[in-house]
Amino acid sequence: MPAILEIQHVSKHFGGLAANSDVSFDVGLGEIVGLIGPNGAGKTTLFNCITGYYPPTRGEVLFKGVRVNGLQPDAVCRLGMVRTWQKVRPLAKMTVLDNVMVGALARTHSLRVAREAAREQLHVVRLEGKAGFLAGGLPIGERKKLEVARALATRPELLLLDEVMGGLNQSESEEIILLILELKRLGLTQVVIEHDMKAIMRLSDRLVVLNSGEKLAEGPPREVATNRDVITAYLGEAVDA
């Protein structure tokens, strides 16, 4: 499988704190990579480094073979890589449809074309009934969906999802899982940060585990789940060890 995203020896330091150190892995075209790790492991920092919010202190990020570290987020988006936010960021005083149109306008100058594309994306995430509502008034489950729809409207080739299931109930999570799998079937490559282990095991083709900013393990979900280091990172060492 050709790699669409190559993360090579990426480090990000904030003063003396190493939020990421020497993280390397590839994301293959069409696969879903799960990015897991305890709180503070550096998952979101890595997203920020990949999408241009932080310049990495060291290392390279290649997207479709093009070096993207040093690019601004808007340039990264136009290249075809888009992220969602763990803490959702609806454009509160704009309608749901207008929110998604903002995403669609990354690819067109025509409001009419953007409106059509936005309606399509709202249909994909089943929010078409809320098109005329203000985004700021949506409940959390629908805000998360809006976040995904808006990102999809930019027509990405790689979608980075930062805890889209956080704070959702069982049935809402299930909807998102089915959506992610459907997008995969349509050929969209995705990197998913998720805390819900059951969900991430089911979704991912491959797991990458971060701990204290370093890559701890990488591999098929089953293998990673039984990895001793991973278990230690999540649960701590045995008392007598």
Partner 1 sequence: MPPRALLRAPRGFSAPAFLAYLAVILLVALVPQLSHKPLILHMWIMVFLAIAQGSAWNVVGGYAGQYSVGHAAYFGIGGYITMLLLEQHQVAPWYGIGLAVAGSLILSVIIGSITFRLRGPYFVLASIAMAEIIRLAALHFRDFTRGAEGILLSGIPPLTTPWFTVKFLGKVPFFYATLGLAVIVVSANWLVQHSKLGYTFQAIREDQDAAHSLGINPTLHKNLALMISAAFTASAGGLFALYVRFIDPNIAFGIDVSVQMVLICIIGGIGTILGPVVGSVVLVLLSETLRNPKWLVQAGVMSDESPTVNFIEAHLSNAHVLFYGVLVVVVVLFAPEGFLGLLRGATARLRKRLAARRGPPSRPAAAA
What is the contact surface with partner 1 in residues (CB under 8 A)? 51, 53, 72-74, 77-78, 82-83, 85, 89-95, 97-98, 101-103, 105-106, 109, 111, 114, 128-134, 137-139, 150-151, 154
Query: Could you tell me the smallest distance in angstroms from the CB atom of residue 12 to partner 1?
Result: 17
Q: Which helix (H) or strand (E) holds 13?
A: strand 3-14
Query: Could you tell me the smallest distance in angstroms from the CB atom of residue 236 to partner 1?
Result: 35
Whether residue 34 contacts residue 192, with contact meaning beta carbons closer than 8 Å, is answered with yes
CA 230 to CA 131: how far, in whole Å? 43
Q: What type of residue is 25?
A: F
User: Based on CB atoms, which residue is closest to partner 1, 32 or 101?
Assistant: 101
User: Based on CB atoms, which residue is closest to partner 1, 46 or 216?
Assistant: 46
User: Based on CB atoms, which residue is closest to partner 1, 116 or 229?
Assistant: 116
User: Based on CB atoms, which residue is closest to partner 1, 98 or 205?
Assistant: 98
Query: Could you tell me the smallest distance in angstroms from the CB atom of residue 128 to partner 1?
Result: 8
User: Based on CB atoms, which residue is closest to partner 1, 74 or 229?
Assistant: 74
User: Based on CB atoms, which residue is closest to partner 1, 105 or 230?
Assistant: 105
Whether residue 217 contacts residue 230, with contact meaning beta carbons closer than 8 Å, is answered with yes
Q: What type of residue is 128?
A: E
CA 86 to CA 44: how far, in whole Å? 8
Distance in angstroms between the alpha carbons of the first and the last residue of the chain: 41
Residue 162 main-chain phi, psi, to 5 deg? -100, 95
Encode 161-182: b = buried (16+ Cβ within 10 Å), e = exposed: bbbbbbebeeebbebbbebbee
CA angle 76, 82, 86 (to 5 degrees): 125
Query: Could you tell me the smallest distance in angstroms from the CB atom of residue 48 to partner 1?
Result: 10
User: Exposed, middle or buried, 205 (CB in 10 Å: 0-12/13-18/19+)?
Assistant: middle
Query: Could you tell me the smallest distance in angstroms from the CB atom of residue 79 to partner 1?
Result: 10
User: Based on CB atoms, which residue is closest to partner 1, 41 or 96?
Assistant: 96
Query: Could you tell me the smallest distance in angstroms from the CB atom of residue 172 to partner 1?
Result: 16
